[in-house]
Structure 1
């Protein structure tokens, strides 16, 4: 099954959104045609955005470019996937709703870019060159365990770890001619099984192996019958409570908790502060923090509170644009 979603490249830029460190299982099939291969809630997709449409200036109306993304559903499994899973026929509307939810297309991104550009010259100089960076609404389970893997790590290696986690403990979804067998993200119950820590250590997960296993067991202890529900229910809690609950899990500090809050729990003003954001805060917004040799809990909270007061309810989205601009692979584009 295939179709189109109508969206301006200023509202959604796949070549930026899918590689800026939010998720780790999207792969670029073709740079020339801007074709992407990935998984959304166990549905395997190929997404294509006209590469010419990405060259539009931020102030253009977009009428002269292709303002749509072509999607192709490569499997049709339900959310309890596996070879033996019953197939569920999805309609065009089902797919459109799924993609709209995943990319949060209800958020008027261009309006926010304009607002942030007017109040912040730093954002204006960078955001105009990096249009269409959206926050994805991901599966909290995949989001959480992927970011446990992110500790002291880089994006390519995190991607390798996540792929390894899926191929070892997930169920088969699809066989692709280029990327091989594709698996779903493993369930919490599978990550609780005996031997998970030692197996992941043998796969070079290091100390993260222990955190993955222990975090899964902690979640399972909260709701043994439906452990996934505990995570999804955090969407209904306030930011402070969701953040606190996540930090009760082994291997989850303030930054990882903020990543999950922002990228899968609908906390749009969550501000993950890593070394990139710390540097941005010191150089562009809070120079008085330079007196601190390292980031403290107090300075972490100060940076988050500043971004929230400065950029407003969707501060986490503005923060992600500035974060992306600081990534080495995009600095050349800005220069």
Structure 2
């Protein structure tokens, strides 16, 4: 295979500039969400920075790529069925909104916490946009089990191997095959 080419039947990871018609955006300032801090923080182990400031991963059994500007969060969803190519649907955007808990105002929380914690007040400016993810409980539990005495890189590898061995194949982008997180039935061998 030539360097930079895709395996037959696979798609490529999108960037906002390469295919803008397939992206949707929602208002979300970086002070409310910093993808680089949240997705690499060790809360979830399914996201990778595939190109500068473009994070690809699995959410709700779909493969997404996310990026952001100072004021907006941009997203695209990949679908195996080429006839379904298009911007994320309202239902898909709702799943993303819930995953990042964007209905919770981080600015209000930071202000409240800073008013009662002098140390937080000193360090809060360095960590703007850090928020908790609302993950699938099964994925969160098994990721936590993998975390015992391990670092983020090793946990990421363990979770990825678990998904490859027992999760459904979702799609291939470039040379990366994405899998959903396995169900409890699949993990139990049923």
TM-score scaled to structure 2, two decimals?
Answer: 0.81
Distance 2:88 2:42 in 1: 31
Structure 1's consecutive aligned runs of 4 or more residues displaced over 3 angstroms after TM superposition are none
In the alignment, structure 1 residue 117 sits paired with structure 2 residue 114:
yes
CA apart distance, 1:90: 8.6
Give the structure with the larger strand fraction. 2
Preserved CA contact (<8 Å) 1:29 1:36: yes
Structure 2, unmatched stretches of 5+, are 1-21
Equivalent of 1:12, from 28, 33, 37? 33
- Structure 1: 5+ residue runs without aligned partners? 54-66, 78-86, 195-335
Distance 2:107 2:97 in 1: 16
CA pair 90-189 structure 1, distance change in 2 beyond 3 A: farther
Say yes or no: does 1:47 pair with 2:66.
yes
RMSD over aligned Cα atoms: 1.9
Please report how far the alpha carbon of residue 192 of structure 1 lies from its aligned counterpart in structure 2 after TM superposition: 1.1
Aligned equivalents of 2:25, 2:134: Cα separation in 1: 20
CA distance in 2, matches of 1:127, 1:91: 33
1:76 CA drift (Å)? 6.5
Structure number with higher helix proportion: 1
Give the equivalent residue in structure 2 for 1:100: 97
State whether residues 76 and 90 of structure 1, in contact with CA within 8 Å, keep that contact through their aligned partners in structure 2.
no
Give 3-state SS (helix, strand or coil) of 1:98's partner: helix
Counterpart Cα distance in 1 of 2:125 and 2:32: 12
> Is 1:134 aligned with 2:131?
yes
Q: Deviations over 1:72-117 (max 9, x none)?
A: 111278xxxxxxxxx8x99631122111111111111101101111
Measure, in 2, the Cα distance between the counterparts of 1:90 and 1:49: 16
Task: Return the offset for 1:133.
Answer: 0.7
CA contact (8 A) 1:36 1:46 kept: yes
Q: 1:76–1:99: structure 2 CA closer, same or farther, 3 Å change rule?
A: farther
Provide the residue aligned with 1:314 in structure 2. Answer: none
Could you say which structure has the larger radius of gyration? 1
